Chain A
């Protein structure tokens, strides 16, 4: 269809849409509303049976919009309290604005996920034409063994050796830190620098520590840019270990598009976040970030608006040079940098394949800390950069960035929705003027439509009510942070998210108090409201609606108690199922085995051709792998034995952990991207609304009880002896300059190391 033809079709369609909106904004009878809503809902559900049809997808959007617009119109014109009653009007207006915010976000989300992009990997250029690549691993305070795996995996990337350089950008060993006025801080920094220099030298990685810690991560990356020269820059967070195919999956895009500045890949996590861990859903339920990485980023990609997420991305140096490197005005340098480059006409690509595996914060405190940074950073961008008004962006990009930033206002709306019913229950404030018939015709149909769309768009990656739970858990703690950044956008500072933490005993999080207080308040309100309903001979219909609403809120608050009642986590290293063939040498005999899973601390092995004699706890062995014809070996010691499905399984720990051990671990864990993909695919199964709701209701009861058990100190846990991981064995680093590795910046290198 040519341009002329398109106009021929477009103009009538746009006029039809405009006329349709005019009709939608008519003050219609409830009868008309109900018939319209039910008809539209029926058709929507029909369209949703064909998820692969793009036409039906758009029809589903516009039909959902019909119901949403009708709701918005009714809410605006008929339900607001009289302005003459400020005690009703003011909270009523706040609730109304919260709902309107949700509707705006709904519209933006519809736009973003209108047609999520599916890309096909381009061919790689010839080796000679491949760009040089610098891999940056910025670090601040991460442990050397954590870095060792990431650096080893980075060094193992499938890319010509001569065109790949890996840099550890250590902000924990900067000159400023090494010369800190506090001798303990200075000593720790010097010690860290020496350890990491040694590690880098052993792995063939360039160590760089800058003079000052200016501009946090962005400043660190910019320092890396100054000491490197590669055409492309890859950024991996300290805990983000890449799979071997990472560059093969990403670099080819740069050859196709000279204006491409970014190829972003998803962040895949090996461990559970506090919600997954404490509700015991990990590996069964899709992780929180999967909605963003599996659908939203693909939607943004459609509009050339997928953005840099701080790690697991490839960037073009030439583009970064235009903006003097990474932007550091906000504490979310990644999104800000992408915005700056999108404004200059550069393009981005999102590759929907898990190509790195990392860690997410395990404890509620670190989780909240991370989200505070994200929320504050995004709102900094919103207020300081004003993406919607930025020059150089397309309209679609403006909408996408506005949506991405505005999303972080959700704590305001979520808390409004949580507390609004209380005003009616306790004070009989009529902040929402409606009767039960109106509620059914407008609100209920709108809610059904919203849930149906949520299931349709995100059902594969988000179970029912889980979004609400995540929002609520964060909102309680983010509220103050948002107020702070709105009052002073330049105030927030970068805080590094703690990862890899363990918890010896199950206990309440230090943040649990607020959640308990809210739950008790909501629960009390529910009880009181039910009492009111039962004792008032003619209770208002509104009370019935409010009871239902508050009951849902109480359920959310109860489930959230489960999130703040933290189960113990003694696992220091996260396992990845790999199914890798290996040889195990025991007492000079060799046994064929399958390595079932691997972590930085050990492996689980299944002997499928017979178990070695005398295999028991404390028994040592040698594990041998083959990599491109070369044997890799490491010593292991048996720690446990389990009965497997077909053959017994044995848990082994590494007897020692040297840089070579981490090379081997990286080889086992990250040689094949499909391991990550399988794990992701396995849990991305839609849960129906009713099943999901029933499951959530179950959580509500179970987790509330568990939280109160913790609160009353009734936890009964047995203590088990845990073997510590083998220490990281490092050789003293050679003087810098001998092989071009380990930039010392004038600080004396370590002569001898002893890791006690």
Chain B
């Protein structure tokens, strides 16, 4: 689809000139004069009502402030008129009951200028605060609202209690409140789309039920483009016959004269100008109309809109992305300062900051190199000896370093290696935690707490060095799928199989496609097909259905611990982090190994004083378990989850053959309700980013996502055949299969040694027999 190619290029490049250089310029000819900007709407109330709220881009999981001191940077897009006018930042929040109201504050900064500090004292439900923002602090385009929560426990001063502290910002009610009127062509209209009560951004494609399939075919590129413009990762696509009145985006597209339009749609289309237009219907409802006589005309209109008024959105979003995470596609160094971190003295017990490192989709984890964290920090004197720095990658502690020094310690560029085995393709979360106990914590005299006595300072010079990575796309790898839309992001066209053309199944398929587009950072060109794929299916395909043949396969024996869980790094003591952040599935009550362990622990006291032999045997057993686990690259605690098929609400399974570039990713459930519920859980941002391995399931009991390690991988044809990459790949693969490595070494070097054994006595002067 050439239209989509143009769209992809535009969205990837952000600047139209370069993108269009290779594009099908015929799409623009004859229309450039006609629609240089979005068409003006004349509908009443389309520009603005008296007050409206512009939600933050971030979803709920990105708006949770945890621990004693936590910071979140939220983004909101403002039109020029909105920036010129004074407004409010509305913060709706609730917090943990354990947060001590006295002294708990939520400070608000706008574009790095502090504006206010709010109390945190709403454990019973949401409380809303409006913070007035002076116009001079705002600017047109993307603005950054920084929230910093400082909170303490009511009664408990232990380090573990810190993990009970949280303040949740409500993404539905929070945002920037403005009274400024803006032009209906301004992209801020679209960006002001509200979220539903469930916290999701619904994108409703309106059309008659009978024409859902056709609407879907037509709308998939548009849906993805809108999602990319919005930049939100909580988008849910819904195919509906009529507008629901809920916040979100209602998409109408096509030609009013089209046969497939419903009367309502036809009416709206007929009043809308040609091309892409938008209307603010109030209450967070945005109507987007893409009117065109043909698919090509609509694509052209979409391209022009993106190249026109929406271009600042895209460019700004790219700039923000560069400062929000580290793209690890190329070796290099990125400092915390470049990621927006500011060096503020920390006075609490547990310092925590996070960095996201986005690994390329064909990244092969292994031990051939490490991400090098160069730490610049300082601690205050009189910390207790237990003071330590812990670095966690994807919720697994990978290293710890003592921070104890009686007179404080200053670290400059201290090198800390984070093993690449702890990372996976896509988004990786690196948490830097500093546990900073002090003697007076033991007394737990909350009134005597002195916030003016800082304990820790993490300097912005702290940086991360990304090494050269082994690059080989693997199949299956749901981490690459979820993180970068791999391999869908590399195909000209992929197959999208939907079992039945029902609105529910098509909604699920479109929602998944949106997530892939967000990961790939460009729309994915799809060929929508209704029905089940044939046995001879080749190429890259996403299959959505309710007939789940794999469900029966998900019995206990075929399940293995998630790959990320097997890295074997969490042997470092990290307070309560490990216990509170355990992997879903690994702590299941049905876990036989853990049950057995729990039984033995409980009954240990009943056997009296165990004999020396029993103790020795027990110790040996534990040591053996530990060594075995280490050799298998997993923790002792990480046992394979044992789940019955009936416990799975929905599954996602990746199969195929990488060498043949054939990949089938199947999302399925027993029925459409389960499918919708399961995909909602699966695409929830925090869950989506935990996908690993070859398959995953959504557990019916708690909607947790459990990833499952594949028994084997196949590889896509290499795109990087340089010697360096081949060497890194060999190291990574042979590390994973070290028996092969040892065997090869013994064979090769042993052969050489045997030859030496033959040749050496015959060389030089020979010994007299």
Chain A residues within CB distance 8 Å of chain B: 6, 9-10, 12-14, 16-17, 19-20, 23-24, 26-32, 34-36, 39-40, 43, 53-59, 61-63, 65-66, 82, 84-85, 114-115, 117-120, 301-304, 396, 433, 536-540
The number of inter-chain residue pairs (CB within 8 angstroms) is 165
Complex alpha-carbon distance, A710 and B728, angstroms: 60
- Whether A302 touches B765, Cβ cut-off 8 Å, given contacts A19-B748, A23-B748, A59-B754, is yes
| Residues of chain B lying within 8 A (CB to CB) of residue A54 | 757, 760-761
Complex alpha-carbon distance, A599 and B767, angstroms: 37
A-B contacts besides A20-B744, A302-B767, A303-B765, 12 pairs, CB < 8 Å? A13-B752, A14-B755, A16-B755, A20-B752, A23-B730, A23-B748, A29-B735, A32-B735, A34-B631, A39-B746, A301-B765, A538-B386
| Residues of chain B lying within 8 A (CB to CB) of residue A540 | 401-402
In the complex the two chains form, is B744's CB within 8 Å of A115's CB? no
Interface string of B390-426 (1 = CB under 8 A from A): 0000000000011010000000010100000100000
- Whether A28 touches B388, Cβ cut-off 8 Å, given contacts A9-B755, A39-B742, A55-B758, is no
Enumerate 5 A-B pairs (CB-CB under 8 Å) in ascending A order.
Answer: A16-B752, A28-B368, A29-B735, A115-B767, A537-B384
B752 smallest CB distance to A (angstroms): 3
- Whether A538 touches B739, Cβ cut-off 8 Å, given contacts A27-B367, A303-B764, is no
- Whether A27 touches B384, Cβ cut-off 8 Å, given contacts A36-B742, A36-B745, A85-B413, is no
Interface string of B726-769 (1 = CB under 8 A from A): 01101100111011011011111111111111111100110110
User: Contact partner of A120 among B633, B744, B750, B768, CB < 8 A?
Assistant: B768
Q: Is B366 in the interface zone, CB < 8 Å from A?
A: yes
In the complex the two chains form, is B755's CB within 8 Å of A28's CB? no
In the A-B complex, the 7 residue pairs with the closest CB atoms: A537-B385, A55-B757, A13-B755, A17-B752, A32-B738, A20-B748, A29-B367
- Whether A433 touches B415, Cβ cut-off 8 Å, given contacts A24-B745, A27-B728, A301-B765, is yes
Q: Is B716 in the interface zone, CB < 8 Å from A?
A: no
In the complex the two chains form, is A32's CB within 8 Å of B742's CB? yes
Interface size of B in residues (CB-CB distance below 8 Å):
51
Q: Is B253 in the interface zone, CB < 8 Å from A?
A: no
B422 smallest CB distance to A (angstroms): 12
B385 to chain A: closest residue by CB: A537
| Residues of chain A lying within 8 A (CB to CB) of residue B385 | 536-538
B203 smallest CB distance to A (angstroms): 45
In the complex the two chains form, is A31's CB within 8 Å of B757's CB? no
In the complex the two chains form, is A35's CB within 8 Å of B745's CB? no
Q: Is B630 in the interface zone, CB < 8 Å from A?
A: yes
Q: Is B369 in the interface zone, CB < 8 Å from A?
A: yes
In the complex the two chains form, is B756's CB within 8 Å of A82's CB? no
A73 smallest CB distance to B (angstroms): 11
B756 to chain A: closest residue by CB: A58
In the complex the two chains form, is B744's CB within 8 Å of A396's CB? no
User: Contact partner of B633 among A10, A20, A31, CB < 8 A?
Assistant: A31
User: Contact partner of A537 among B404, B746, B760, CB < 8 A?
Assistant: B404
User: Contact partner of B749 among A26, A34, A53, A63, CB < 8 A?
Assistant: A63
| Residues of chain A lying within 8 A (CB to CB) of residue B754 | 13, 55, 58-59
Most buried by A among B631, B744, B757: B757
Interface residues of B in 525-547 (CB under 8 A from A): none
- Whether A10 touches B731, Cβ cut-off 8 Å, given contacts A54-B760, A66-B745, A540-B402, is no
B494 smallest CB distance to A (angstroms): 35
B419 smallest CB distance to A (angstroms): 9
| Residues of chain B lying within 8 A (CB to CB) of residue A53 | 757
Interface string of B347-389 (1 = CB under 8 A from A): 0000000000000000000111100000000000000111110
Interface of A is mostly: helix
A29 smallest CB distance to B (angstroms): 4
| Residues of chain B lying within 8 A (CB to CB) of residue A35 | 631, 738-739, 742
| Residues of chain B lying within 8 A (CB to CB) of residue A303 | 764-765
Complex alpha-carbon distance, A12 and B754, angstroms: 12
Complex alpha-carbon distance, A9 and B755, angstroms: 8
In the complex the two chains form, is A10's CB within 8 Å of B727's CB? no
A81 to chain B: closest residue by CB: B415
| Residues of chain B lying within 8 A (CB to CB) of residue A14 | 752, 755
Complex alpha-carbon distance, A61 and B752, angstroms: 11
In the complex the two chains form, is A536's CB within 8 Å of B735's CB? no
In the complex the two chains form, is A12's CB within 8 Å of B751's CB? yes
Complex alpha-carbon distance, A520 and B731, angstroms: 46
- Whether A17 touches B749, Cβ cut-off 8 Å, given contacts A538-B388, A538-B402, is yes
B298 smallest CB distance to A (angstroms): 52
In the complex the two chains form, is B728's CB within 8 Å of A396's CB? no
A305 to chain B: closest residue by CB: B764
In the complex the two chains form, is A31's CB within 8 Å of B756's CB? no
Complex alpha-carbon distance, A12 and B747, angstroms: 12
B739 to chain A: closest residue by CB: A35
Complex alpha-carbon distance, A24 and B750, angstroms: 13
Complex alpha-carbon distance, A564 and B526, angstroms: 86
Complex alpha-carbon distance, A9 and B727, angstroms: 28
Complex alpha-carbon distance, A117 and B298, angstroms: 89
- Whether A16 touches B761, Cβ cut-off 8 Å, given contacts A35-B631, A82-B415, is no
| Residues of chain A lying within 8 A (CB to CB) of residue B764 | 115, 302-304, 396
| Residues of chain B lying within 8 A (CB to CB) of residue A16 | 747-749, 751-752, 755
B412 to chain A: closest residue by CB: A85
Most buried by B among A34, A54, A115, A304: A115
In the complex the two chains form, is A62's CB within 8 Å of B413's CB? no
Complex alpha-carbon distance, A169 and B759, angstroms: 46
In the complex the two chains form, is A27's CB within 8 Å of B631's CB? no
| Residues of chain B lying within 8 A (CB to CB) of residue A32 | 367, 734-735, 738, 741-742
In the complex the two chains form, is B386's CB within 8 Å of A537's CB? yes
In the complex the two chains form, is B741's CB within 8 Å of A28's CB? yes
B439 smallest CB distance to A (angstroms): 13
In the complex the two chains form, is B750's CB within 8 Å of A59's CB? yes
In the complex the two chains form, is B755's CB within 8 Å of A119's CB? no
In the complex the two chains form, is B384's CB within 8 Å of A26's CB? no
Interface string of B587-598 (1 = CB under 8 A from A): 000000000000
In the complex the two chains form, is A59's CB within 8 Å of B730's CB? no
In the complex the two chains form, is A30's CB within 8 Å of B744's CB? no
Complex alpha-carbon distance, A66 and B747, angstroms: 12
| Residues of chain A lying within 8 A (CB to CB) of residue B744 | 20, 23
| Residues of chain B lying within 8 A (CB to CB) of residue A537 | 384-386, 402, 404
Complex alpha-carbon distance, A59 and B736, angstroms: 27
B573 to chain A: closest residue by CB: A538
Interface residues of B in 134-189 (CB under 8 A from A): none
Most buried by B among A24, A31, A63, A114: A31
B752 to chain A: closest residue by CB: A17
- Whether A63 touches B404, Cβ cut-off 8 Å, given contacts A27-B368, A433-B415, is no
A36 smallest CB distance to B (angstroms): 5
- Whether A84 touches B413, Cβ cut-off 8 Å, given contacts A17-B748, A536-B402, is yes
Complex alpha-carbon distance, A655 and B620, angstroms: 74
B389 smallest CB distance to A (angstroms): 11
User: Contact partner of B759 among A10, A30, A56, CB < 8 A?
Assistant: A10
Complex alpha-carbon distance, A536 and B421, angstroms: 31
A636 smallest CB distance to B (angstroms): 45
Complex alpha-carbon distance, A289 and B673, angstroms: 87
| Residues of chain A lying within 8 A (CB to CB) of residue B734 | 23, 26, 28, 32
In the complex the two chains form, is A117's CB within 8 Å of B738's CB? no
A427 smallest CB distance to B (angstroms): 14
| Residues of chain A lying within 8 A (CB to CB) of residue B749 | 16-17, 20, 24, 62-63, 65-66
In the complex the two chains form, is A539's CB within 8 Å of B748's CB? no
| Residues of chain A lying within 8 A (CB to CB) of residue B760 | 54, 58, 114-115
A67 smallest CB distance to B (angstroms): 11
Most buried by B among A17, A32, A66: A32
- Whether A539 touches B402, Cβ cut-off 8 Å, given contacts A23-B745, A32-B741, A35-B738, is yes
Complex alpha-carbon distance, A433 and B416, angstroms: 10
B547 smallest CB distance to A (angstroms): 41
Interface residues of B in 680-735 (CB under 8 A from A): 727-728, 730-731, 734-735
